[in-house]
Structure 1
């Protein structure tokens, strides 16, 4: 059974990476609003937790790169993080704020730190967003720990080790082992390549589909690459250039 998160009528999951912003306001409510205004039904975000247990939508472990604040999020109370401004203008959003602002928006949540596990689960529970959330992490342990705190299933994506096991089994023509590597997840979210290693090609897409798993590729910003991946049969694309992905999908008749 396909999780409701993945049940998109267009046939292509178009994910706006950290919302949509060309001026450094990533992971802000303004960036997520810009993606929604473009017509996106999916956004991707990252989650850390403050020292007093508030889950925030922020990629970095510190405030330094994207905000006018300083310090590690995990060492600061929410009151301090709330004063920081992304790009000098936008507040750092709480995860439950993102989930609650757009009740129909589907949100891909990358749990970045073990201390964020409980706060992320609490935000999903508080907003009852289970049907429209995908919990992912490079760490399988973090993902499973988050799921263990939820009262209902959410969609899930493979961690680094699971991806490696899947690719190794696929290349060894061990289809059962490849499927087994993905047995605990709903989708495979991966880069098109990792260094010289080609991760996404016709064979890996077919193997994931044979295992009943969707393939989402990150982070793709060139229209030619978007077209190529869609021609391969991928089920979703994560992009910083939501405007360009929308144009590509419109041209292919896959934008609702």
Structure 2
């Protein structure tokens, strides 16, 4: 496993995937950030009610989706139907890691309940 601090010199992190330049914590924001040379992305992870880790900062959906629900009260099927910032999906953690295999991620696990499902990962992803 490669540790986050295995580098020398200054490293630029794209906070929430580059939220000032593109929709925060979306695959599109990660694509933008890597296209301009960022090798490190800081992102946040919440978990669905059925234990699927998603890239999402807030513990509720009010600010991003204008829905008065806690993130962890929705199933992955419900979350997959949501669109944020227009037409962007809320990405699953595994999809983001697989989509950007050469990018280093600083992951902020937003609750203790997110850690186990996130670290279990997926056999397609050699990330943890």
Provide TM-score, normalisation by structure 1. Answer: 0.46
User: 1:17 matched to which residue of 2?
Assistant: 15
User: 1:8 matched to which residue of 2?
Assistant: 7
Alignment of 1:1-256 (within 5 A): 4-8=3-7, 11-22=9-20, 25-67=23-65, 69-123=67-121, 127-130=125-128
Gap regions ≥5 residues in structure 2: none
Offset at 1:123? 2.2
Offset at 1:64? 1.9
| Runs of 4+ with deviation above 4 angstroms | none
Gap regions ≥5 residues in structure 1: 131-256
Alignment length (residue pairs): 127
RMSD over aligned Cα, in angstroms?
2.0
Asked which structure has the greater CA Rg, the reply is: 1
Partners of 1:118 and 1:70 lie apart in 2 by 26
Greater RCO, CA 8 A, separation 6+:
2
Partner SS, residue 90 of structure 1: coil
Partner SS, residue 4 of structure 2: helix
Offset at 1:85? 1.3
Partners of 2:30 and 2:68 lie apart in 1 by 23
Offset at 1:125? 6.7
Partner SS, residue 101 of structure 2: coil
Partner SS, residue 46 of structure 1: strand
Provide TM-score, normalisation by structure 2. Answer: 0.88
Offset at 1:83? 1.3
Partner SS, residue 5 of structure 1: coil
Higher helix share: 1
For the 8 Å contact 1:84–1:92, the answer to whether it is kept is: yes
